[in-house]
Structure 1
Amino acid sequence: MRVTTDLWVSALVRRVFGAGGFAAIVKRGATEAGAVFVLSRGRLGEVALYGPAPQTSYDSADPDERFFALLDSSDDGSAFDARLEREKKFDPDIWVVEIEAGTIPVEELLLVKAD
């Protein structure tokens, strides 16, 4: 049984704070099954946007895991605002979580699939 998005996001926020980082829910989406987008801000100003990985990335042996893909990275996060607005228009139930990971790399907080 897959956990709700609300519970999964809460666990992510706790893990980030536990690692000495910061996390905030920018947009709360559908409690049960909203798609999650994560904005990761580094200490030197770099910004990365992670979103749901394509369906081909999912493992049939573990279908309940949430996989993410790096959608884009930049030193200027303003471009991501426009992208997230488009995503919200397409699917108003999305979640947006912004994190500064602290001591744990983002790849350990999210299951990131490479291209």
Structure 2
Amino acid sequence: MTPRLTADFWIRAYLARLGLADIPAYVTARGDATAGAVIVKCARLDGTAAAWQRSFDLTTGARAWVMLADGPEAEVDAALARQRARDPDLWLIEIESRAGRTLLDEPGLSD
């Protein structure tokens, strides 16, 4: 079994990679440092946004990023507020990228 990174450690590494790619990112809600779920929101700066949640493929056990919401930013924010109300241990990361770059598909972040 592969050891899992704590949420806090993964988020710090992710923010560092985003910084190296000149993609502004902010922690907008802090969750449980060891095992909190992570949602990444990308504000496209045109009034729209998308959000992904780290999840597991139930058949393979592999980690995957699943789209949680996509559309007008106000609607995405409302969906995230509902998620946060259900799970106070949830981490929310917000990225600002006109191109929608999240780096979530890159090695080390995609799994």
Q: Map 1:81-100; keep pairs closer than 5 Å.
A: 81-100=77-96
Which of 54, 64, 68 does residue 65 from structure 2 map onto? Answer: 68
**Identity of counterpart residues, as a percentage?**
29
Q: Give distance in 2, aligned partners of 1:43 and 1:83.
A: 18
Give yes or no for contact 2:29–2:90 (8 Å, CA) kept in 1.
yes
Query: What's the RMSD between the two structures over aligned residues?
Result: 2.5
Local SS of the residue matching 2:5: coil
Output the amino acid matched with 2:25. A
Q: 1:28 to 1:34 in 2, by over 3 A?
A: same
C-alpha offsets along residues 48-92 of structure 1, whole Å, 9 cap, x if unaligned?
Answer: 1111335426x44xx5xx421112211x21112221221122111
Is there any run of 5+ residues in structure 1 with no aligned partner, and where? none
Give yes or no for contact 1:37–1:97 (8 Å, CA) kept in 2.
yes
Give yes or no for contact 2:43–2:98 (8 Å, CA) kept in 1.
no
Output the amino acid matched with 1:99. I
Q: Give distance in 2, aligned partners of 1:34 and 1:77.
A: 24
Output the TM-score relative to the length of structure 2. Answer: 0.78
Give yes or no for contact 1:27–1:97 (8 Å, CA) kept in 2.
yes
Q: Which residue of 2 aligns with 1:32?
A: 34
Q: 1:91 to 1:45 in 2, by over 3 A?
A: same
Q: 1:15 to 1:45 in 2, by over 3 A?
A: farther
Give yes or no for contact 2:42–2:100 (8 Å, CA) kept in 1.
no
Q: May I ask how many residue pairs the two structures share in their alignment? A: 106
Q: Give distance in 2, aligned partners of 1:104 and 1:14.
A: 18
Local SS of the residue matching 2:33: coil
Q: Which residue of 1 aligns with 2:110?
A: 111
CA displacement at 1:20 relative to structure 2 = 1.0
